Amino acid sequence: MTRYDVTITRLPLRALFEMRGALPGDAGLPPPPAPLRLTQAGDRVLAMTGPARWLLMAPLAQEETLERALPEAVALSDTLTFFAITGLGAGQIMAVASPLDLHASAFPEDGCAFTEAFGIRALVRRLPGGFEIGVDASHADWFAAMLDRVAGCA
C-alpha cells in the first residue's frame, strides 16, 4: 500500500552518449524541434539538453555499434540510473522531488531536461502514464529510497 497511486521501477542500463557541437548525421535521428525536447525513432531517443549539447539514448545492445558510428560522442552509459514513476500519483511524486515545472504547458509530451530531484542533478522526461527520471548511478540506491519514502512504501 502506498500513499500515492504510483509504481516505481528501476530501469535496466541503457546506452547513453553525449555529444557537443554540431549534431553528427550518424546519430540516426533528426534533431529535436526545440531546446529541451526530444525526438524518438524506434528504440532510440535523442534529446537536446543544452546549447549544442545532445544526449542519445538506446538499448544497451546498441552501445558498441553507436560507439563506432559516433567516435566524437562520450559514452555515459553506466553513469546514470533511470527510474520509471508511473500511475495517477506520478505527478505528486515529481512535485515533491523536483522544482521543475511539469505542467503540460511548460513541459510538453516530448520534453526532456536536466534539473534537480531531491537536491541532485536529474534528467527528466515523460513516459506514458508518468515520468522517467535519471540520476547519477552512485546516488541511485539513496534516490530509490527517497522515492519509496515519498510514495509511502518505506
Partner 1 sequence: MLLIDCPFCGKRTESEFAYGGPALAPRPDPAALTDAEWVDWLTVPPNPLGWVEERWWHARGCGAWLTLRRHTVTHEIAEVRHGR
Nearer to partner 1, 2 or 114 (CB): 114
| Residue found under cell 528504440 | 43
Using the rule CB under 8 A, is 35 a contact of partner 1?
A: yes
Instruction: Verify binding: residue 31, partner 1, rule CB under 8 A.
Output: no
- Full DSSP string of 31-52: PPSSTTBEEEETTEEEEEEETT
CB 147 within 8 A of CB 98: no
Residue 49 interacting with partner 1 (CB under 8 A) = yes
Tell me if 119 contacts partner 1 by CB under 8 A: yes
Q: Are 93 and 85 in contact (CB under 8 A)?
A: yes
Site membership for partner 1, residue 22 (CB under 8 A)? no
Binding site for partner 1 (CB under 8 A): 35-36, 49-51, 53, 99-101, 106, 113-116, 119-122
